[in-house]
Structure 1
Amino acid sequence: MMSRTVSLPSSSVVESAQWILLLLLIPPWSNLVMTSSPFTVALWHHNNRVSANNVCQRSEMADGGLTVRCSGLRLTQVPVGLSNLTVRLFLDKNLLSSLPAGSFSDLSLLDELDLSHNQLSSLEAGCFRGLASSLRFLDLSSNQLSSLELAALSGLRALTNLTRNPWHCDCRMQLSTPQLDLDPSSLSEVICQTSDLPNRGAVGTPLLQLLDDWDLCLSVRRSTDVVMLVTMVLWFSTLISYLLYYIRQNQEHARQHMEYIKALQGRQL
């Protein structure tokens, strides 16, 4: 009796069958709009960008504006395709590490922006471009920000929450803080984790208290004064050296001229 060999499906065939089964279990695409699972986000990645229309929850407000929630989606960038009718935008509990310039430039009606509980460590110049006249509430709490760049604020006057960030309190921070209307209820929690004044009790001190007690730009001004003084000394030294050289050269020229005149007079005699 001849034995028959049973050939097993190749691994590629098995994988294809698994994908087909998985696709059959997925709900219709229209239902993915209100979904916030990481798998849904992965499906809609395109060049590392995510479409807000497909992963964020949207609800219409009484005045016709939109509240858009993109919370907890593990986004690494601000999603594209946000409606210009967006009034409230929630991007909290994601993985944003930076905000490129023009991230919200099309959202001219944006009134509230929640960026809390991300991994923001820097704010690029112009990241809030176009929001100066509309934005009233900005939440940057629970991130990794250590400094605020003046170029990133761009005249922003939003009521801002800066709590639970590892702030480094220095002259740049002192100059940036007046650009923001800090949330009064959170001022005591804006703590200096590091400072240019580590030996004066600055570490662990609320920022506003430190600004009341110390001028964090004083050392910068002193350094600037020293540089200006050294520059002026070098400039005057150069000027004096040139004058001495000029006088010495003129004296030598005058001596040679006098000797020439005496020689002419001697020949005439």
Structure 2
Amino acid sequence: MHDVAGPDVPRKPPGFNGFSLLCGLLIGLVMAIAPVMACPASCHCIEKSGMTVVQCVSRDLEKIPLDLPRDTVVLLLASNRITHIPNHAFRELHYLQELDLSNNEIETVDAAAFQGVSDSLLVLDLSNNRIQSVPKEAFARLRAKISLSNNPWHCECTLQEVLRELRLDPETVNEVICHTAVQEEYAGKPVIQVLDSGINFCNFHHKTTDVAMFVTMFGWFTMVIAYVIYYVRHNQEDARRHLEYLKSLPSSSQISKDFDTISTVL
């Protein structure tokens, strides 16, 4: 007699067991974590007291690295050749507390440069760079202690409005100097000293704008008057020439006399 075949029972593939399943899960977990823990080739990452410190000091960097670990708490980028802080440069670093960009060649800071870290950032060092001005939005909502010393600041209305909202490092605040200013007499003086004296660069800006508008309007008015005078004189000259031409023509009486003389002769 032949055995009657029962219902098909699913069989495990050869070599399949619980250990293989566990290995697959571990590999997937490692692959998911790897991008978070990756360290840029030009930097050195250190785990310290449960925090990731990314050290990129004096690495001759021209740009901020893009592949920074997402759990970075301290990012040291001092003494490089970085010239620009672009929008969303640190957007993925939600745990970032300290950012050192001192002693670079930074000239421009985009409006959304620190967007994404405004809530977590506690210390920001931008000292010893080449920054002259920043957009009003660049440091919006930042609660960090900020060092802006030893930059060639141009003191004007926008800078005044920016500084009004910042928590400047008290140890370096007197080193934030007006390299140039809309009012030349304040060049070379600490910004905080100028502002504490009651100077309002925004008022000066408005006055300068008003004067510029007045000068522009006066210039246009002068041009219009000059054109009208030229137009009148030019038309007078044409009228005079036309009148002289008419005077040079023989009068009708003279023409009649000439005609009578000719008739008599004939």
1:208 has 2:195 as partner? no
In structure 1, the partner of 2:161 is 175
Taking a change above 3 Å as real, the CA distance of residues 52 and 143 of structure 1, as seen in their structure-2 partners, is farther
Match of 1:161 among 147, 166, 174: 147
Displacement of 1:224: 5.7
What is residue 218 of structure 1 aligned with on the other side? Answer: 203
**1:210 alignment partner AA:** V
> What letter is aligned with 1:105?
R
SS in 2 for 1:53: coil
CA contact (8 A) 2:39 2:45 kept: no
Counterpart for residue 135 of structure 1: 121
Deviation at 1:186, TM superposition (A): 0.6
CA distance in 1, matches of 2:89, 2:111: 11
Aligned AA for 1:192?
A: C
From 53, 58, 77, the equivalent of 1:91 is 77
1:56 to 24, 32, 43: 43
Alpha-carbon distance in 1 for matches of 2:148, 2:96: 19
CA shift, 1:228, in A, is 9.6
Stretches of structure 2 that go unaligned for 5 or more consecutive residues are 1-37, 216-266
2: CA distance between counterparts of 1:67 and 1:165?
Answer: 27
Letter in 1 for 2:207: R
User: Match for 1:140: what amino acid?
Assistant: L
Alignment of 1:91-110 (within 5 A): 91-110=77-96
Q: Matched residues in 2 for 1:52 and 1:128: separation?
A: 21
Q: How does 1:1-269 map to 2 (within 5 A)?
A: 52-62=39-49, 64-198=50-184, 200=185, 202-213=186-197, 214-223=199-208
Inter-partner Cα distance in structure 2 for 1:166 and 1:211: 17
Cα displacement (A) at 1:179: 2.2
How far off its partner does 1:137 sit? 0.3
Within 1, Cα distance between the matches of 2:214 and 2:40? Answer: 59
Relative distance call for 1:197 and 1:52 in structure 2 (3 A) is: farther
CA shift at 1:221, angstroms? 2.6
Tell me, what secondary structure is at the counterpart of 2:160?
Answer: helix
Q: One-letter code of the match for 2:43?
A: C
TM-score by length of 2: 0.63
| Contact kept? 2:110, 2:134, Cα under 8 Å | no
Q: Deviations over 1:46-100 (max 9, x none)?
A: xxxxx943221111121x2201100111111111211111000000111110011
Q: Partners of 1:56 and 1:72 in 2: how far apart? A: 10
Q: C-alpha root-mean-square deviation of aligned residues, in Å?
A: 1.9
Q: Decide whether the 8 Å contact of 1:52 with 1:80 is kept in 2.
A: no
Distance 2:40 2:141 in 1: 30
SS of equivalent residue, structure 1 residue 147:
coil
